[in-house]
Amino acid sequence: MGGTMDEMRLEPLAVEEAPKRGVVENLEVDKLVAEYKTLAKTNLDEALEKLLALEKQQRLAADMVATKKVCIGIVQVCFFAGNYKLLNEHIVLLSKRRSQLKQAVVGFVQEAMAYIDQIKDLDAKIELISTLNTVTAGKIYVEVERARLVRQLVKIKEETGDIQAAADLIQEVAIETYGALAKTEKIFFILEQVRLCLDCKDFVRGTIMSKKISDRTFREKEAPKTDDKKPTDQQMPEQAALEGTPSLSELKLRYYELIIRIHIHNSDYLEICRAYQSVFADKAISADPAKWSEVLKKICWYIVLASNGVEQQTLLHTIAGEKKLGELVKYHSLIKQFTTTEVDPQDSLNLWHLPIAAKSKPCQTPDPSPVKCRIRALSNTKSEPCQTLNPSPVEHQIQALSNTHSESC
């Protein structure tokens, strides 16, 4: 009983003293790191040697806070010494140390990323980004940092004119599997993948990439207040989007801009019209008369260019019912001519439609207007002016005649 009582008396004392001893150790680590940083100004090698010894001591003790501080100190010492080669070597060295703590890796990777924009030499900047890419590869706890590093390297490649290398590099990242990345940042990354594919004229791959995003992605929903689920150990909590990332509304317009480019390449005018309808429905567009009028004009032209069919006729009548179309008198007249079953002289279709078609340009797309392309192609055949607009008026006239003939029979 005596021995047991002694243990009971000593146990509370041990519990009370443990936190105090930890605080002292952390304060000592801060003091030592500051001391070695000062030493680095006169003797860099000796300072790094002492910092590495201190890092090993704290790492083996599994003190993640102290280990993170020491690792960050090592990175800072190398950077402020201006020795970028030594910086890259120590980043790799710290990441490969036995039983290295995840928090320490996250700490020194984020610290090194903060120095990228401060490096003026382009080769040194690329080398640092490549080193960090190597360190973060395959580590789920630094997947956000890896995605941002890839974007920085892609931006540099694009600025130097190597579009193909930029496209190949960004396609290597399966960004849709990165659970910790913010939704807007993830969408922006995918859109950049699509854009670079289209810039390289790889429309097949660009189309495949674009299918990673659906229309539902841009429907903002409020998270239920009763949902207090916390991420499991295998799930990383979602981080805030990087500053400068476009909003969901801006990303929606970028998405449809790319979709329109794909459909223009495929000459799928019905799908182009649908894409413009989605743009027209956006709050930012519908609130600005200058913007919605231009989009609505494109909707009118592309539905007229689309081949005659059930879907085209359904969409045509839907557009005809748009209230804002009444403010665009000539375009309202155009749609009206294609929604009536009366036979109309072809001259009236070309009286004002052809000059306006020649001036039409798809909104925010670098590709030439398909209207102008088809006008130019038909004009080269030296056909009559009334036939240069598009086969659509002819199709409409034939359909109207067919309906009239059926009724008379």
pLDDT at 125 > cutoff 60: yes
What are phi and psi for residue 233, nearest 5 degrees? Answer: -65, -30
- The upper half-sphere exposure of residue 203, i.e. CA atoms within 13 Å in the direction of its Cβ, equals 11
Average pLDDT value for residue range 203-225: 79
d(CA 103, CA 380): 68
407 confidence band (pLDDT: 50, 70, 90):
low
Q: What would the pLDDT profile of 372-397 be if each residue is shown by its tens digit? A: 443 333 334 333 333 334 455 555 55
Q: What would the pLDDT profile of 275-299 be if each residue is shown by its tens digit? A: 999 999 999 999 999 999 999 999 9
User: What tokens does 68 get?
Assistant: 């993170």
Average pLDDT, the chain: 79
- Contacts with 148 (C-beta within 8 Å, 6 or more apart), sequence order: 113, 242
Name the DSSP letter for residue 281: T
- Contacts with 322 (C-beta within 8 Å, 6 or more apart), sequence order: 296
d(CA 103, CA 105): 5
> Which amino acid is residue 68, in one-letter code?
K
d(CA 309, CA 338): 12
Q: What would the pLDDT profile of 318-370 be if each residue is shown by its tens digit? A: 999 889 998 988 888 888 887 876 655 554 555 445 445 545 544 444 343 44
Q: What would the pLDDT profile of 26-75 be if each residue is shown by its tens digit? A: 678 889 999 999 999 999 999 999 999 999 999 998 899 999 999 999 99
What are phi and psi for residue 221, nearest 5 degrees? Answer: -125, 140
169 confidence band (pLDDT: 50, 70, 90):
very high
